[in-house]
Amino acid sequence: MALNYIWISFLLIAVAVAAAQAVMGDLAPLGAVMDSMFSSAKSGFEISIGLTGVLALWLGFLKIAERSGVIGALSRMVAPFFAEIFPGVPKGHPAMGNIFMNFSANMLGLDNAATPLGLKAMEELQSLNPKKDTATDAMIMFLVLNTSGLTLIPITVMTYRAQFGAANPSDVFLPILIATYTSSLVGLIAVAVKQRINLLKRAVILPLTVMTAVIAALLLWFASIDPDTQRVASNVITYTTLLGIVSSFVIAGLIKKVNVYEAFVDGAKEGFKVAVGIIPYLIAILVAIGMLRASSALEWLLGGIEWLVSLCGIDTRFVDALPTAILKPLSGNGARGMMLDTMTALGPDAFASKVSCIMLGATDTTFYILSLYFGSVGITKMRYALPCGLIADAAGLLMAIFVGYLFFG
């Protein structure tokens, strides 16, 4: 229901703002909003079609992992921790392994791998859902942690900075890591409070402590090596991890004497079905976001924010980075475009450009993820998933501003 009201609000705001400008003599926004309706619908379809190949590929490999017992082994490995934060999922259920693999792919910045894994996890969670149109507690916890966007290696952001000629493309690595970890931790706490989950149990505290220690070790290591070595190390870690996962699935299948080819084809067929099911939901949300952007409503909002910030006597340099923050929960491509636009206008090493980069890596696209994942299994009642996701987003984006001043002030 919440998504329904948000979708309607976006459309009405876009039309109202464009109409107001038309009354004042500027007809261009009306045409832009109309054009955006069709172009966004086309983009939504193209993105869905583009996902088809990736979904077929990864769900094919996942089917191999499932039949060879890899998913079951992963489920048992993470069972103690996940049993506490996903109390509604039975011990040893395949959903646990898929959730773990999705989180792992996200942390390594493997977006193309993470999406199919996440959609498969949602399918498994839906099999446990007694009310097929209503999100379960486990689904909400899973998606809020997804929207928080925990990423250990922000390769995409560093690559863009390098392309724009930044003096040190990887100088945003540490700030992004701090911001995204904050977002994930706050998201976990927000959902845990709502679901009355005790996070002080040993099974939860120990993994979180270990993860914090690993992140701290990565921070120290990356801080001690030169930028070129950082980029090489990031790529090596990412690529070897991805190929290692795929190889382990195939090898496990051979050991268990699974018909690997047949399993892959069966999984790929499922991927095609999932991609087709996503199309209407994706088009709906992208059309609303596209119209909002085309109406200039965001520009008006920014001007108002800058005026309010200046009235409070606060430094306004971060305001130029806010378009990325505003669009990040709505559209990954939109936020990325805003970040690139900021770097183009101000230069890659400007303060606002760096803060914009940190914001892009701090969280994920909350509205897109909720629409995509819930839509893939027919969920229409998301309950409190959106508020908790936005709380995590707010924490990550505020931390992005804070560490921006701390590192680059």
Instruction: Provide CB contacts within 8 A for 47, sequence distance 6+.
Output: 282, 286
CA distance 181 to 176: 8
Q: What is the pLDDT of residues 109-128, one digit of tens each?
A: 556 567 788 888 899 999 99
- Who has greater pLDDT, 409 or 360? 360
* Residue 288 reports pLDDT greater than 60: yes
pLDDT of amino acid 391: 94
Residue 86, φ and ψ in degrees, nearest 5: -125, 65
> By three-state DSSP, how is residue 197 classified?
coil
Residue 195 has pLDDT above 90, yes or no: yes
At 159, which amino acid appears? T
What percent of the chain is modeled with pLDDT above 70? 91
In which band, very low, low, confident or very high, does the pLDDT at 129 lie, cut at 50, 70 and 90? very high
Q: Regarding predicted confidence, which is higher, 338 or 1?
A: 338
407 close to 27: Cβ distance less than 8 angstroms:
no
Give me the residues paired with residue 341 across strands.
none
Mean pLDDT across 307-332: 83
pLDDT attached to residue 1: 47
Average pLDDT, integer, range 138-162: 82
Asked if residues 59 and 268 have their Cβ atoms less than 8 Å apart, the reply is: yes
**Closest by Cα among 151, 219, 110 to 357:** 151
**Distances, alpha carbon 111 to alpha carbons 54, 107, 114, 251, 363, in Å:** 10, 9, 5, 24, 13
Q: What are phi and psi of 47, to 5 degrees?
A: -65, -45
Return the residue matching tokens 């003599």: 25
Q: Which residues contact 402 (CB under 8 A, 6 or more apart)?
A: none
Phi and psi at residue 381, to the nearest 5°: -110, 100
Mean pLDDT score of the chain = 82
- Coil/strand/helix, residue 196: coil
The span from the CA of 329 to the CA of 318, in Å, is 18
Taking residues 17-40, what's their average pLDDT? 86
Band (pLDDT 50/70/90 cuts) for residue 330 is: confident
User: Above 70 in pLDDT, residue 234?
Assistant: no
Choose from 109-113, 309-313, 356-360, 405-409 the range with maximum mean pLDDT: 356-360
Ranges 53-57, 87-91, 323-327: which has the least confidence: 53-57
**CA-based nearest residue to 277, from 146, 374, 136:** 374
Query: Is residue 264 within 8 Å of 57, Cβ to Cβ?
Result: no
Q: Return phi, psi of residue 327, to 5°.
A: -85, -20
- Residue 302 CB coordination number (10 Å): 15
Report helix, strand or coil for 134. Answer: strand
Interatomic CA distance for residues 103 and 100, integer angstroms: 5
Higher pLDDT, 401 or 154: 401
